[in-house]
Amino acid sequence: MLRSHILPENITFETLYNPDDAVIDVVFVHGLTGDPKSTWASANGFWPDWLAEDNPTAAFHTIGFPASKLKKWLSKELDVFELAKSATEYLCGYGIGKRPVVFIAHSLGGILTKLILAHCNGSSDSEAAELAQKVVRVMFLATPHNAPSFASVAKYVMPKLSSAHVTVLAGETTVLTKIGEDYKKYSGVTPLLKNIAYYEAQHLAGLAMIVSKEDADPGITGTTPIPIEADHLSICKPNSRDSMVHVSVSRHIRQALKCAHDHPELSSSETKTFGDDYSVKAEHDRRELLEKMVAADRENEYGYANRQQNKFARPYVALGLLPGTRADHDMMLSEVEQRFQSQVFFPHICEGSDKQTIQEAVQKNVVEPLAGKAIGETVFGAATIQSAIYFLTEQCHIRWDPET
């Protein structure tokens, strides 16, 4: 596992594999009762691991939604369109859409995936629109594409849902029809996109079929649902590499890889080359911020430093930024780190300069040159640069006392 990012309100994005020669991104989207781990895991292994071994030039990621959010959606306490917008911000923020993309979605995760892509299609946000155009495969695993089957899934995963509410969901054709129609339009103008649908061929123990062949059909020309000898929950948990769903999904990932090679224009020329992930603490100097400030004889600055680093960290780590600005912030942090190390740390801190001299060096060589300067498409103010310095201190990328 390369990196894991916990996002606001427990929504998660995790990169499982990202080889240097990766040419596509594969994103797993779980259903209502699942999570980014257990949904794809059987007693014999974790499915993304097998797919990554079969397809070593693909990067694999999961995006996760807390059950509380999805249940609020079913209870009509949360606008699913807003949830899709948030998911779009996260995907774009982590660079999904810079190269060809494959989505693998289980159950209601497929409805969210359709909504995300329909939302991105034709968006005024250039990165969201780019994401929509880079999708080459969407694989739906037991996704209920019509209102009655949608209600069946809701009733199964929320048994305490009132019968009256299930009736409302079963008749909720307006929203689902709009999502379906918008997605069909999107598929129609995305020539390299191929949709693959799978349906459960077994009943869930003691229950009727949750999503039938008819329910699993997204109604897209050229897409015929494929039966899998599994029930609604096990369809995304193959027991072996010989399982039908694994063999089929891996084949379609190989097709996506071929598509990427045949269409190099799908890969963005804009490649992030930052040496550090600033949302993760550096391996060296793992002291707490207070310890660092005390060691530098700056204990009286701790309260201010902590407030400033938190002020910067909240929007940065939480990705409360518009897609694209994360890259600008990373470039700014990289420049702050380089300037601090070369023009403050080595010539002043390591040489024992007094605090006044060090502070003047920070202002002259770090804050003033970067304040008001356009980095990417973002202009940063002096206060943000100052907050970034303390954020880098907290994240162990810079220090205020000489190394011993």
- Residues with Cβ within 8 Å of 10's Cβ and at least 6 positions away in sequence, in order, are 64, 66, 68
Cα 161 off chain centre by: 30
SS3 102: strand
- The stretches in the chain having pLDDT less than 50 are 1-8, 77-78, 160-172, 269-275, 319-323
pLDDT in tens, 238-287: 999 999 999 999 999 999 999 998 888 888 644 443 345 677 777 777 78
CA-CA distance, 118 to 39, in Å (whole number)? 25
Fold of 3-266: Rossmann fold (3.40.50)
Does pTM surpass 0.85?
no
pLDDT in tens, 121-151: 878 888 999 999 999 999 999 998 875 555 5
Q: What residue ranges of the chain are covered by domains with CATH 3.40.50.1820? A: 3-266
pLDDT in tens, 148-187: 555 555 555 555 443 443 343 444 456 677 788 889 999 9
SS3 114: helix
